[in-house]
Structure 1
Amino acid sequence: MTINALGDSFTYGYGATSGHGYISVLSRLLGKSINNLGVSGAQVPDQTAALYGINVVAGDASILELGTNDHWRYGADAVKREYFRRGIQACAAWLGLVDRQKGVSNTSTTGTWLNTASFGIGKMSNTAGSTITWHVSGETVYLGTIQFDGNASKFNVKIDGVDKGTYDTGTTGLNTYQNFPCGPRLLRFAGLTPGVHEVVFTALGGDYCYAEWCAGSDSAKAPVYAANFTRDTATGYAACPIPVSDTTMAAFNATFASAMAELIADGLDITVVDNNAIYFPDVDTYIDGVHPNDTGHAKIAMNFFRSWKV
């Protein structure tokens, strides 16, 4: 079994003394090695290269802990919170579905396509009318694309010949603290009949649009332990350059919960680890008012441990 932990400074272990970050503690509790991919300051888009570098196979498990920095970057902006939702759901689906078809290896194309420059797993086109076709099985189809700041392209999706809509690739203000302009986006098409479906992605011109991967809900599943977000102290919130609070944090947690609930309803093996419920900022937080101290990291580790099933 391989366990990968995708996350930000919490996963990296910031705020803890050596060996007391929650990943280190959880590793000892489980008696298993954990591949820590956490990066301080990372938002969902910043972790996309690491995400798509994870080749999940049956028997693997993943930890997903991202969103604190997205909250700090986007605050009360509901449009940007939707960018977060699209991205975090793409992360969970990629980690939880074993049988994913990458665009880069798809030869069922018409028109002009190039391998995606950003993350290397998909194809991209700026030629109107170019198509890429997948065949996947299940009552829900998942289509992984890229959302890109300032991009002016559109694409269309049809499933079994039925038009499922036209989508913008572009965003406004997705750009992260680490100056990364693009990240994952999941399109989820539920309520289909059982069996195999033909999924056709059609580029509509303009800038590049991105066909990264496709999967069906009949795919084998791998467990994902996805954590919500802990509150800051008043000092921590005050340090943010935009207004944030328990209220804006709660909105992000609700968005996260909704995104995970859809995937769980589809049958993905996702366990939501409610760190917010067991965490008390005035006791469990480092001097910066944001990151966990040793006590906070220990609580988070124990919360994951109690949720662990494999």
Structure 2
Amino acid sequence: MKTLVTGAAGFVGTHLCEYLLRRGDDVHGTYLDQAEFDRLPESLQQQVVFHQCDLSNLEQIHNIVEPGGFERVYHLAAISSVHQSWQGQDLVIRVNLYGWINLMEALRQYCPKARILMVSSGEVYGVVAENRQPIDEFQPLRPINPYADSKAAQEMFCYQYIHRYQLQIVIVRPFNHTGPRQAPSFVCPDFAKQIAAIEQGKREAVISVGNLEARRDFCDVRDVVRAYYLALETCAPGIPVNVASGSAWSIQQVLDMLLRFSTVPIEIRQDPQRLRPSDVPLMLGDSTRLHRQTGWQPEIPFEETLQSVLNYWRENRYWSVKALL
């Protein structure tokens, strides 16, 4: 397959490119600036055809898509942090929504037969009562932060292009996922980076934390990109599918597990600046629909995922937050 991955230099993008290359795809990817490209693993720089592109610039997208002849498109490029979205929702809407619309306009003109993956988020469900969890795709969308708002809006625009232009857009709603290369603006690499720095004597033996009571459904990023591939190949356009493990871990449990892997004793200290203005107590996903349609289920144990995140930061691969969003 000739495949385009937007946001290919990001956390999920790098893992997806590696997965597609192993399958033998001819992979093209977009990145935003040269610093992103320079931080990529050398193997990806050599094997993926990269294009510098700002998705808010329609002309730049046309320059990539018009001669492309892409059969598969995975749209990952986004501002993907809930915390960052509170700092400027205008930017979130410009990148996440208008960038998506620009891509759809280019694809409908030049690659109308391509199968397209639109990556939404479990955040679009908002606060769901615990007695109605795990959350399936029949739950209404009630987003409560700018990031979730932008993803819900992206979904709504999909139907216009599906029904008016017959684009084959598959919608996935991933719940939390983590793994090596994730930016420290997310909770698992945040803790892991602090622990690694403490072990190496680069900071005092105190880890700063926010809300430890929230419970989240975590998948390994390597399981997630496999789900994306299977969904795009198998699932029907316009019918959202959750990508979730079906198990919820409290942030306290995540921290305790990482601390058990630590080689030194560490004190825990709560930092009020790490508390989000709107935090959902529980997000637990139901991926029954995805399993029925594709056979997908998570394969990597969460303990193994966290160990790989910590080992990544122990190896001093301190990529910038901007490069990995």
Same fold (TM over 0.5): no
TM-score for both structures, normalised by structure 1? 0.42
Flag the structure with higher helix content. 2
Higher RCO (Cα < 8 Å, 6 or more apart): 1
Flag the structure with higher strand content. 1
